[in-house]
Amino acid sequence: MTTSLDSLTVLVTGGAGYIGSHAVLALRDHGIKTIVIDNLTTGYRWAVPADVPLIVADIGDFAAVSRTITQHDVGAILHFAGSVVVPESVENPLKYYANNTANSRTLIEAAVTNGVRHIIFSSTAATYGIPDHVPVAEDAPKSPINPYGMSKLMTEQMLADVAKAHSINYCALRYFNVAGADPKRRTGQSTAGATHLIKVAVEAALGKRDHVSIFGTDYDTPDGTGVRDYIHVSDLADAHVLALKALIEVPEESLTMNCGYGRGFSVTEVLDAVDRVAGVKINRKFEGRRAGDPDALTADNSRIRARLPWTPAYEDLDIIVTHALAWEKELERRAF
């Protein structure tokens, strides 16, 4: 039986990806024995530290996951593997229900079958859809407006049902807008063709794009552009380690918690920050709204603040942008 973090091996699915690779670093920095399973479709081998075993396999492969769990005596799983592009989920919903829902079902079955006791699941604020009120709390209605959000919500539901039926507890962490990069530049957001605002803006600041589009200027927000709750990926990674501790300490409890700082910045404020930090003036193009974008989406984070001793270190928007920019330069230096 799992009793402490010291005696535990943690399996990180998607540990070669953006958020997963930061979680691996956080676990490793806490001295927790960690292994990674990743099919490397969007992840990178280099993103997994050399002393962390990497099993190249799909989480939908029951035999491979089961073998990994038993061979390494895995006691807990941090589950990041999945597809994350919202517009793609609208065009190709079955890909999302396969990668995010069906494969999660297989992973959870392998976990239950092989005696894993704790699962932390990478969920999303997209489960709320367009909330009636912001900041949005965990018990607000869940009405995803795209297959991505629904595919994650379905996995949350599976976990809730499984936790009632088996000796396993889970924590679903609903991420808001994840940005930034490891302050030591060991990993960062590396996907080509990224669409997320801060990544797009730092690329533009370095001349990799000639402009940034501002999608909508008529939102019901102070300056008319969309407002989001940007959270530094390393603070988010730390929340996973703390959530794991909580699951181990109280095995009969499962948790669902928002991960955001509880404050929002508009698109204009983000672009101003990138201009300021990079010392440039990004070319801004005003365009129409993107389908399905809410006016404002910020987290009520009172639950995570009350339940975990989470003290974010990088709440400042300029720091998030500084780290995102430093990683973008690192990508250039390494010529990825």
Q: Give me the residue whose beta carbon is nearest to ligand UDP.
A: 226
Q: Give the span between the Cα atoms of 187 and 178, in whole angstroms.
A: 14
- According to the binding rule CB under 6 A, does residue 283 interact with ligand UDP? no
- According to the binding rule CB under 6 A, does residue 254 interact with ligand UDP? no
Which 262-281 residues touch ligand UDP, going by CB under 6 A?
A: 267
- According to the binding rule CB under 6 A, does residue 321 interact with ligand UDP? no
- Binder among 174, 196, 232, 240 for ligand UDP (CB under 6 A): 196
Contact criterion met (CB below 8 Å) for 172 and 121 = yes
Q: Give the span between the Cα atoms of 33 and 10, in whole angstroms.
A: 6
Angle at 195 between CA 194 and CA 197, to 5 degrees: 115
Q: What is the dihedral of CA 205, 208, 214, 215, to 10 degrees?
A: -150
- According to the binding rule CB under 6 A, does residue 212 interact with ligand UDP? yes
The residue behind tokens 């024995």 is: 33
List active site positions. Answer: 148
Q: Give the span between the Cα atoms of 225 and 221, in whole angstroms.
A: 6
| Site map (CB under 6 A) of ligand UDP, residues 154-193, x = contact | -----------------------x----------------
- According to the binding rule CB under 6 A, does residue 205 interact with ligand UDP? no
To the nearest whole angstrom, how small is the minimum distance from the Cβ of residue 2 to ligand UDP?
34
To the nearest whole angstrom, how small is the minimum distance from the Cβ of residue 26 to ligand UDP?
22
Q: What is the DSSP letter of 288?
A: P
To the nearest whole angstrom, how small is the minimum distance from the Cβ of residue 243 to ligand UDP?
22
Residues 6+ apart with CB under 8 A from 53: 35, 36, 72
Residues 6+ apart with CB under 8 A from 275: 205, 281, 282
Which stretch, 24-32, 196-204, 243-251, 305-313, contacts ligand UDP (CB under 6 A)?
196-204
- Binder among 119, 214, 244, 274 for ligand UDP (CB under 6 A): 214
- According to the binding rule CB under 6 A, does residue 54 interact with ligand UDP? no
- According to the binding rule CB under 6 A, does residue 221 interact with ligand UDP? no
Q: Give the span between the Cα atoms of 271 and 255, in whole angstroms.
A: 35
The two tokens of residue 39 are 């099919």
Q: Which helix (H) or strand (E) holds 121?
A: strand 118-124
To the nearest whole angstrom, how small is the minimum distance from the Cβ of residue 118 to ligand UDP?
28
Q: Which residues bind ligand UDP (CB under 6 A)?
A: 177, 195-197, 200, 212-215, 226, 228, 267, 290, 293
